[in-house]
Amino acid sequence: MSAGAESPVDADSVRLHLSASHVSRETSLGHRVSRETSPGRHVSRETSNPDAPLPHAALLHLRGWGELGSTELWGPYGETAAQAVTGLMAVQGRATGGPRALGVDYLAAVGGVVATTTLLATALGEARGMTIDRAELGLAHTALYSLGQYLAAATADEEPEAVPTRPYSPGAQPPFVSADGIRFEVEALDAAPWQAFWRQLGVPARQIAESWGPYMGRYSRATAPVDPALAEAAVRHSYADVRRMAEITGMSVSPVRALRHRMTDEDVVEYQAPWTLVSETGETGETGVFGETGEFGEIGETGEFGEIGAFGGGCRRGSSVPRGARLPLAGLRVVESTRRIQGPLAGLLLGALGAEVIRIEPPGGDPLRGIPPMAGDTSARFLALNQGKSVHEIDFRTPRGRRKVLDLVAGADVFLHNWAPGKAAQLGLDHTDLAAVRPGIVYAWASGWGRDAPAARLPLGTDFMVQAWSGVADALRTEDRAPAPSLVTLLDLLGGFIAAEGIVAGLLARRRGARGVRVDTSLLGASRVLLGPGLRGWGVGESAVAEGGSGRRAGGGTPGADAPAGSLDATIPSVPDNPDRLAHAGLSGVPVRTDLRALPADPVFGQVFLRRGCALVTPPWRFS
């Protein structure tokens, strides 16, 4: 059971109004709207003339438990309860032997980003000629959607994944500790640097080979049961030696940085937004539609727009609204060249909003398609992130392949990639190259560190490395454990949601007349959203910062809904499993879901799943 004194927002009463002709920068900054908006508050966007009548106001209704329960069943919707009921605690606890809460308000951050995306998509749909009176977003449903790859793997038809939750020794798994006490993460994208690095540190070949698979598997399984010999070897060397051996072998290394150090970084001090949007006219926006609020371009004829089904379909031609369109991005085409989680999730979200998504894969297909557990002939995890996309196999490293990419882009509205820095220019597929064949293209790059990051001084931009460097790992610190990245891919997932948000904003900006729109997002930007005000010292105690801690409460009760991000207690109180005994003791609680396979079979939760060789979560929004 998870219990606490939390008194979060009753999100079922929260409504946001959005004009068809304006989008407020203030509203689109509301990444944590589900936590920061008071019950019953109606937020309308600002205009240059506050007395001017709104041509049409669409209503966004944020629902807490929504169709997945009620306050009578689960209590008020809040971060702790949602982490427990949706299975997030179970996934987070795989590496430590039992369910554990995250020490940051992850689901609140995701809910806020998706709420903003829904607002922007509604405005885009209306600008394109649709009439949208109401959009609904379920926050508990959104929480499940963010766990889609874990739920799919756990429910695959063919040997569903059963991840053991045996206790692992905290010192035997990453991050590792050097002889001088520096905690550090390591990363390699293939086995050769990994083997060479640990061989330099004196680990026997057998233990190196046996640990490679479990270490790479942490991205999908949220566990990393590597051989203890790795930690034993690391602690025999100073961090300077570790860095030197990493440079020799090609391994990437990052210290687990304290929040007090992260708070002095330039991007935090000057507050860089999680995504930026730039056009040829020089206009730039950060977390909102750029420029002052103003009129959209001309709006075409209004079309029919009924409630959506479970999944939206796209239309194949142009950016006009097809007759009978039911989703705000219907008629738009997205071409993506992405791998792993962040980029594919962004494309999935755009497809769920109605766009047609064309996926470029190498000849023979993405290797991740064949990684068990399988749902028919496709990896369940891969299916969860790429369902509904059409595929073109293209070797874009060749002149012929490059021409094929340009042919696809010529009929597209968005190009999305998450290639390594500099690769697009090297391939001749950068923004200027694509704009030459499609001037109206929205060019989106979902990266690790961002376009302006000093790449020479930073490690590989992967989820766990960014967690270590950005302070997220320190924010997850609990009383009984040292700082460590979560093995839930928090930043990849949140980064995918933010990339989709930025792309929808880019499409909206294009509708307003912007040309040459480029959208940049990053995992580092996602970390700033996740850590929120606490990263900038708002509400963080002086002593906690001075000691290098996260500024969270060190124990006691769970803080209320107005607490800053990162304030959620990361331990689960030891309480009886019987709710009646909890009530008798004056406590409230909800059951902690420990078996992800049971969620789709639940009579309440099962209604938001589809079965396609595994359980797939339906999109959490409805438009009418």
Q: Rounded CA gap, 528 and 367, in Å?
A: 32
Rounded Cα distance, 460 and 85, in Å: 34
Both structure tokens of 352: 């769920």
Is 492 designated active site? yes
* Cross-strand partners of 186: 253
Strands (E), 303-349: 333-337
Query: Do residues 279 and 106 make contact, with C-beta atoms less than 8 angstroms apart?
Result: no
Cα–Cα distance measured from residue 549 to residue 521, given in angstroms and rounded to the nearest whole number:
28
Paired sense of beta strands 333-337 and 42-43, if any: unpaired
360 burial (CB, 10 Å; 0-12 / 13-18 / 19+) is: buried
Block residue for tokens 């073109």: 392
Among candidate residues 267, 492, 520, 569, the one labeled active-site is 492
**What 3 state SS string does 44-103 have?**
CCCCCCCCCCCCCEEEEEEECCHHHCCHHHHCCCCHHHHHHHHCHHHHHHHHCCCCCCCC
Cβ atoms of residues 299 and 321 within 8 Å = no
Distances (CA, A) of 29 to 136, 275, 423: 19, 11, 31
504 closest CA partner among 126, 41, 39: 126
CB atoms within 10 A of CB 323: 10
User: Which residues belong to the active site?
Assistant: 492
